[in-house]
Structure 1
């Protein structure tokens, strides 16, 4: 399973060993159930107008695969938007996930439309 760290202060992204940071309350697991591989994932505060860096870096999120997105403990924001770009260049966005209460997000693609379930 991939582990990605998201630094919310400037949304500068870096892979960080688990021992180096404590988990933030916004941490969540993202599951790709779209039937297609995802090349890029962006997570940005809803209040921002900039997607910043791709949290996947050089990795892809293959269909059926999961990734845990980590935030630093000091992150205060709860509402985040998510954008994905599939390997064929198609994109989808979801807005206003309360990551202080959501721990899992599953992405789907059905009949040309992207959707998400969360818990």
Structure 2
């Protein structure tokens, strides 16, 4: 085999190996985020919806609440492959805070303060 062909094959194989080890599939990314309530109010409801939906879905806290100083670890992996989520927190004083475009694949903690 000519030297030029071997170089082309080597470069092709090397590129394939690098691509498979460097580029993580979206499904393999960690979407767990710790939500911290660093306010003086209780979070009564919390929603996290991926950027591909127009709905807030269900209250992630369910029957629980997130009191001042408490935190909860939430896995936002909903099977869609999305990394960007919108968060909505409803507090006991009826304040509603919405945060848009949070990249749950890149952050480990989100704090309300």
Residue 60 (structure 1) shift: 0.5
3-state SS, counterpart of residue 65 of structure 2: coil
> TM-score normalised to the size of structure 2?
0.70
Corresponding residue to 2:108 among 99, 103, 110:
103
Q: 1:73: how far off?
A: 8.2
1:59 to 64, 79, 86: 64
Q: Which residue of 1 aligns with 2:52?
A: 47
Q: Distance in 1 between matches of 2:29 and 2:69?
A: 25
Which structure's residues are more often helix, by fraction? 2
CA RMSD of aligned residues (A): 1.8
Greater strand content: 1
Query: How many residue pairs get matched?
Result: 86
Tell me which residue corresponds to 1:5.
none
Distance 1:49 1:102, change over 3 A: same
Q: Choose from 78, 91, 94 the match for 2:99.
A: 94
